[in-house]
Amino acid sequence: MKTVQVDAGSKSYPVFIGDNTVTQLNGFIQTHLPECTKVLIITDETVAALHLQALQREITGFPVVSHIVPAGEHAKTFDVFYSCQSFALEEKLDRKSLIIALGGGAVGDLAGFVASSYMRGIPFIQVPTTILAHDSAVGGKVAINHPLGKNMIGAFYQPEAVFYETSFLRTLPALELRSGFGEVIKHALISDKDFYESLLNEIDELEKVPEKTWAVLLEKGILVKSKIVAKDEKEANVRAFLNFGHTLGHAIEAEMGYGNMSHGEAVVIGMLFALRLSKKKLQLDFSINNLEAWLQSLGYETKVPAHLKVDALIDRMKQDKKSVSGTIHFVLLDAIGNPVIVKMDEQELMEELHIFKGE
């Protein structure tokens, strides 16, 4: 088992990665939350069928209840948030109770936001079950979506710990490997040319990546993220680098209808566009063609879906959380591993997006 310690400003906590990490969960609660009155596991219907029993078996000595929400982005809604709060109240959770998020990023974002706001904040623990969640379970961004934008209603709220039980990843379908690997590529591109090149040279089929390799990649991604979060927990400056690919990525997700394109796949398209802008505006020395060919060989879409309109995407990007008074800010790279924030002119962005779409 590997451990990464995350030192976010408001809290320092461990991320345990490996097989059988959940066997340590009960002991962790006994040691760190000894007065815990009740444990509420929030999970989704797919993960519940696969892994809920295994988790429940591990928690002994504390009353445990579970609340099962719809899978995917359907979990990150006001209605589901409300259903979680109602369940917590009906089950009489108090300030000494604990919420456990068992699932991918959608469940983690939802359950974390529930924990952050229930009685103004109770402890929570992340038990991530997707590759993508190496990103979402760490760093404390928790949120639900609004029809007008992704993750618009949320908080910065750190977990007590993250138990990354890698045996839970065995049931992931190919689409979810692809989505999660998108954020691994992001962590490589914003941090380290060698990390990026090792991915490009060594990963040629996601379903054949051995479990041990996944554990190494998850740890590497978490290290990249945790170093940035340690410097800037609440995105006053460098944390925005973690948003590489997300300005367009989130706009695509919203325009497609949440859940109709996976987060990681939308971010991959967003990164290709950001790399294109980086070459134009910052003379980035990088072969987008090599990256695009590799991504296609792994099964990624590399173009903005044709039916999405440039005007609508620009409007979405103007509402991005990095925008200031409607001015769009992009994370670009002036070298691989060296992100910078650049204010973008709307007209230029429109022209570039038309070209990127092949229009």
Ligand X SMILES: NC(=O)c1ccc[n+]([C@@H]2O[C@H](COP(=O)([O-])OP(=O)(O)OC[C@H]3O[C@@H](n4cnc5c(N)ncnc54)[C@H](O)[C@@H]3O)[C@@H](O)[C@H]2O)c1
- Residues annotated within the binding site for Zn(2+) are 183, 246, 263
**Type of residue at 303:** K
Rg from Cα positions in the chain: 20
Give the start-end residues of each E strand in the chain: 2-8, 11-18, 39-44, 64-69, 98-103, 124-128, 141-146, 149-156, 161-165, 328-335, 338-344
Which of ligand X, ligand LNCXM5UN, none is residue 226 near (CB under 5 to 8 Å by kind)? none
Number of residues that bind ligand X (CB under 6 A): 32
Cβ count near 290 (within 10 Å): 10
Among positions 246, 251, 272, 353, the unique one binding ligand LNCXM5UN when judged by CB under 6 A: 246
Which of ligand X, ligand LNCXM5UN, none is residue 172 near (CB under 5 to 8 Å by kind)? ligand X
Among positions 1, 50, 209, 335, the unique one binding ligand X when judged by CB under 6 A: 50
101-120: contacts with ligand X (CB under 6 A): 103-107, 109
For the CB of residue 314, give the shortest distance to ligand LNCXM5UN in the complex, in Å: 17
Residues 92, 73: Cα–Cα separation, whole Å: 27
For the CB of residue 141, give the shortest distance to ligand LNCXM5UN in the complex, in Å: 5
Which of ligand LNCXM5UN, ligand X, none is residue 239 near (CB under 5 to 8 Å by kind)? ligand LNCXM5UN
Residues 293, 297: Cα–Cα separation, whole Å: 6
Q: Between residues 72 and 339, which has the closer beta carbon with respect to ligand X?
A: 72
Which of ligand X, ligand LNCXM5UN, none is residue 246 near (CB under 5 to 8 Å by kind)? ligand LNCXM5UN
For the CB of residue 17, give the shortest distance to ligand LNCXM5UN in the complex, in Å: 18
Which of ligand LNCXM5UN, ligand X, none is residue 47 near (CB under 5 to 8 Å by kind)? ligand X
Residues 301-310 as b or e (16 or more Cβ within 10 Å = b): ebebeeebeb
- The reply to whether 165 sits near ligand LNCXM5UN by the rule CB under 6 A is no
Q: How far is CA 32 from the centre of its chain?
A: 26
Which residues neighbour 104 within 8 Å (Cβ) at sequence distance 6 or greater? 44, 47, 128, 129, 130, 132, 133, 136, 176
Q: Between residues 18 and 72, which has the closer beta carbon with respect to ligand X?
A: 72
Helix (H, G, I), strand (E, B) or coil at 258: coil
Length of the chain: 359
Residues 284, 333: Cα–Cα separation, whole Å: 7
Among positions 67, 76, 134, 150, the unique one binding ligand LNCXM5UN when judged by CB under 6 A: 150
Residues 74-84 as b or e (16 or more Cβ within 10 Å = b): bbbbeebbebb
Q: Are 242 and 234 in contact (CB under 8 A)?
A: no
Number of residues that bind ligand LNCXM5UN (CB under 6 A): 12
Site mask for ligand X (CB under 6 A), range 71-100, x = bound: xxx--x------------------------
- The reply to whether 329 sits near ligand LNCXM5UN by the rule CB under 6 A is no
Q: Which residues bind ligand LNCXM5UN (CB under 6 A)?
A: 135, 139, 141, 150-151, 183, 235, 239, 242-243, 246, 321
